[in-house]
Amino acid sequence: MRKYIYSVFVFFFIGSIIAQEQEKEMSLSMQEAIDYAIKNSYENKVSLNNIEVAKKKKWETTTIGLPQINGKVDYQNWLKQQVSLLPAAAFDNTQSTIDVVEDYFDGVTRNGKEVTSPTGFIPLRFGTKQTMNASVTLTQLLFDGSYLVGLQSAKTYLKISEQAKNKTELSTREAIVNAYGNVLVTEKTIEILERNKKVLQKNLDETQKTYDNGLTELENVEQLQITLGNVESNLRNAERLKEIAYQMLNISLGNPIDVKLTLTSTLDNLVVENTDLSLLSTQFNIDNHIDFKIAQNDRESKRLLMKFEQSKALPSLSAFINYGANANSDDFNFFNSDQKWFDYSLFGVSLNIPIFSSFGRSSRTAQAKIELENADIRLEEAKQKLNLQVKTAKSEYQLVIENYETAKKNLALAERIEKKQQVKFFEGISSSFDLLQAQNQLYTQQNNYVQSMLNVIAKKAQLENALNIPLK
């Protein structure tokens, strides 16, 4: 039985470990990476929280104009009661008066003589030592110009937060395209360097044999050793960059940096998918651009600020009604059934009329008006910049497509030239210097080709953001 329980325990333990490891592995195409990042990236999570804050802020502002109910309980205990002085002339000289004074103030004594007419002041303590008061008050704002403006501002604030989320999603798409592309470029670079290393190693081995047979110079061997050393160094550096590129992609996705990623999209396929010359003829509608909408909302917020300052010159009207009860006692017996409570109620209306602020309100209104004028200027600036941004993005996108086609042709030419130089070198027709030039030219064209592939993908995303093309 113990063996059976132990086996079950080990089975579940190993299963949980496997499940945890599987959770740390992800297989993503570029589009899947974009979709995942929009839901899980750090920036998008913050944007969603900001929208929730804006919604709560909107409701907070709304509640200012709704009924407010507050309860209050006061308890007072005189450790030493206050003394009040009453004019002695207010009292007669009868025995009953003296007795009353003695009852209220212990310091009064009689000397047994006939009481004369009182003069000066008589010290007395009034009321009980302990008091409790409980009340409930209902208040209602009837009119306040600043409250109405506040409601409009809260709606605008929510709209700004939602547009910021939209802007973040577009930025996330571009960030994922670049991060995903950098990983693929690094892997492609490693693949090319490994191929170059293999070719160089073969050339070096053959040249070494030729030198051992006395048919070539040592310089040719050393030249190939230098080139091979450089390629190996670049390969090691690319391997390190690959790890960093994966970690950067994880951060962009909103993952811990140690999550294992498998990328299912290839660089060649992405270039084909992202080569779309029809984008160059796409019409630009600035009114739908998120940056233009953000600039419009900025202007609206400045308009509301000016309206808010103007509303402070309007009167405000509010009303309240309350109900309460109080009790008095020399001892704490307020919760006894025989304790007497005396209830009361009050209704009131308050009208606040601003009359003169030493021109403080007009000064604040003038400042808000200037801020509104600045917002108009920034709105026009945003309009011009966005139009220029689209033209620039289209030009750059067309350029990178042309550069890609050129780099593809140049790479094919460089490969043929390098192969011819290899043949000539081993036939003794050309020198190691000629072979080195052909190899360096090949490596440069390889790098240009890989970079041009990334540029096509990145500039496509940049152009889509400039045109405000929505996410798929």
pLDDT 10s digits, 291-315: 999 999 999 999 999 998 898 888 9
pLDDT at 99: 54
In a domain, 246, yes or no: yes
Token look-up 């080990």 returns 10
In a domain, 106, yes or no: no
Domain with 372 in it: 26-78+134-467
Q: Considering only residues 96 and 123, tell me which one the structure prediction assigns the higher pLDDT.
A: 123
pLDDT of residue 117 exceeding 80: no
pLDDT of residue 102 exceeding 60: no
- Output Rg (C-alpha) for the chain, integer angstroms: 43
**Based on the number of CB atoms within 10 Å of its own CB, is 463 exposed (0-12), middle (13-18) or buried (19 or more)?**
buried
The token pair that represents 442 in the structure block: 């090949």
Beta-bridge partners for 123 = 85
| Helices and strands of the chain, counted as H and E runs | 10, 8
In a domain, 90, yes or no: no
DSSP element (H, E) containing 347: strand 342-352
Number of domains composing the chain: 1
List the CATH number of the domain containing 355: 1.20.1600.10
pTM: 0.78
Nearest to 371 by CA among 285, 286, 442, 309: 309
Beta-bridge partners for 325 = 134, 343
In a domain, 70, yes or no: yes
Nearest to 321 by CA among 337, 344, 339: 344
Token look-up 């929505």 returns 470
Out of 57-61, 80-84, 177-181, which region has the weakest mean confidence (pLDDT)?
80-84
pLDDT at 92: 56
- Report, as an integer, the average pLDDT of 13-31: 65
Nearest to 235 by CA among 272, 187, 298: 187
Token look-up 């693949």 returns 191
What is the rounded distance in angstroms from the CA atom of residue 200 to the CA atom of residue 422?
A: 10
In a domain, 116, yes or no: no
pLDDT of residue 287 exceeding 60: yes
Nearest to 184 by CA among 241, 260, 232: 241
Neighbours of 22 (CB within 10 A): 10
The token pair that represents 176 in the structure block: 């994922």
Beta strand 68-77 with 25-28: parallel, antiparallel or unpaired?
unpaired
In a domain, 198, yes or no: yes
In a domain, 398, yes or no: yes
In a domain, 184, yes or no: yes
pLDDT at 128: 85
**344-396 pLDDT tens trace:** 999 999 999 999 888 888 899 999 999 999 999 999 999 999 999 999 999 99
What is the residue type of 51?
I
Per-residue pLDDT band for 16 (boundaries 50, 70, 90) equals: very low
Measure the CA angle with vertex 424, ends 422 and 430; round to 5°: 105
Cβ atoms 421, 236 nearer than 8 A: no
